[in-house]
């Protein structure tokens, strides 16, 4: 009986698609894992529709029976003109030997994504000169906004805390309502609950001053 001439072995690869990131150094390299589910060694070959944009380490070799191999693919042209352009890789499996017929074939797509956060590209070499987007210059300007109001906010907060502390201390020094022998008028006598509240507020203010 004649064996079939077409591919008969499923090509199992992970991930099924390649996504490269232009804003991450590690994103310009992807790992492609190729599995051999058969009981015989198979020869593999990696082809690409845009070979000038990629470097494939170990583009040809052998996969042991019921084993796997990792193929490193690096994007070497992360230019803005290549953003969101889909390329294709083809993985071919063939029988062992120089004239082995192709027994498996699979195509996977590859795409380069544009930077999501342009600030992450600072300090990295830019392959092509292009005008900087407005978001590159916005963060330095934003950093100066809180510098001006800080002194006024700190001064007003200090005065407010000082006033609250003085009132709390005054409440603690006033006599209780049931206390006898006090020369102060009855209107200046405070309750025990008011003294507890004043002591609590004074404790909070003390913690604020200690932290600053």
- Give tens-digit pLDDT for 99-144: 778 898 999 999 998 887 654 444 555 555 444 443 333 333 333 3
What average pLDDT score do residues 28-52 get?
Answer: 90
Helix (H, G, I), strand (E, B) or coil at 74: strand
Residue 56's SS3 state is: strand
Contact status, residue 73 vs residue 30, Cβ threshold 8 Å: yes
Question: For 186-198, what is the mean pLDDT?
Answer: 78
pLDDT above 70 for 23: yes
What's the pTM? 0.50
Tokens 């193929």: give the residue.
Answer: 71
Q: What is the pLDDT of residue 17?
A: 92
Highest mean pLDDT among 24-28, 34-38, 87-91, 99-103: 87-91
C-alpha 10/C-alpha 190 separation (Å) is 88
- Residue 44: pLDDT above 50? yes
* pLDDT score for 21: 87
Q: What is the pLDDT of residue 91?
A: 92
pLDDT at 121: 44
Please tell me the predicted confidence (pLDDT) of residue 194.
Answer: 80
**Tens of pLDDT, residues 149-174:** 444 445 777 787 788 888 888 878 88
pLDDT for position 188: 77
Q: How far is it, in rounded angstroms, from Cα 90 to Cα 106?
A: 6
Distances (CA, A) of 182 to 156, 168, 176, 199: 36, 20, 9, 21
Under DSSP, the state recorded for 20 is E
Residues 6+ apart with CB under 8 A from 69: 33, 34, 36, 44, 58, 61, 63
Which pLDDT score, from 0 to 100, does residue 87 have? 93
More confident: 36 or 136 = 36
Nearest to 47 by CA among 88, 76, 100: 88
Residue 79 in contact with residue 113, Cβ under 8 Å? no
pLDDT at 169: 84
Coil, strand, or helix at residue 124?
Answer: coil
> What strands, in cross-sheet order, belong to the sheet with 42-48?
18-21, 102-113, 87-95, 42-48, 60-63
Q: Quick one: pLDDT at residue 25?
A: 64
Tokens at 53, concatenated: 């944009």
- What confidence tier does 181 reach under pLDDT thresholds 50, 70, 90? confident
pLDDT at 27: 60
């Amino acid at each position: 009986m004649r064996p079939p001439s077409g591919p008969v072995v499923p090509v199992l690869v992970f991930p099924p698609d390649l996504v490269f990131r232009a804003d991450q150094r590690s994103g310009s390299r992807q790992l492609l894992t190729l599995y051999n589910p058969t009981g015989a060694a198979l020869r593999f070959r990696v082809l690409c529709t845009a070979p000038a944009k990629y470097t494939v380490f170990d583009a040809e070799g052998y996969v042991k029976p019921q084993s796997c191999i990792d193929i490193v693919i690096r994007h070497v042209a992360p230019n803005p003109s290549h953003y969101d352009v889909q390329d294709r890789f083809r993985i071919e499996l063939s029988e062992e030997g120089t004239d082995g017929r192709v027994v498996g074939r699979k195509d996977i797509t590859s795409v380069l994504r544009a930077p999501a956060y342009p600030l992450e590209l600072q300090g990295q070499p830019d392959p092509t000169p292009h005008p900087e987007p407005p978001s590159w210059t916005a963060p330095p300007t934003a950093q100066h906004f809180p510098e001006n109001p800080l002194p006024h906010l700190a001064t007003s907060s200090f005065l407010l805390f000082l006033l609250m502390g003085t009132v709390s201390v005054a409440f603690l020094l006033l006599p209780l309502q049931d206390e006898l022998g006090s020369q102060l008028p009855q209107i200046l006598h405070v309750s025990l609950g008011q003294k507890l509240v004043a002591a609590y507020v004074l404790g909070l203010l003390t913690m604020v001053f200690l932290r600053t």
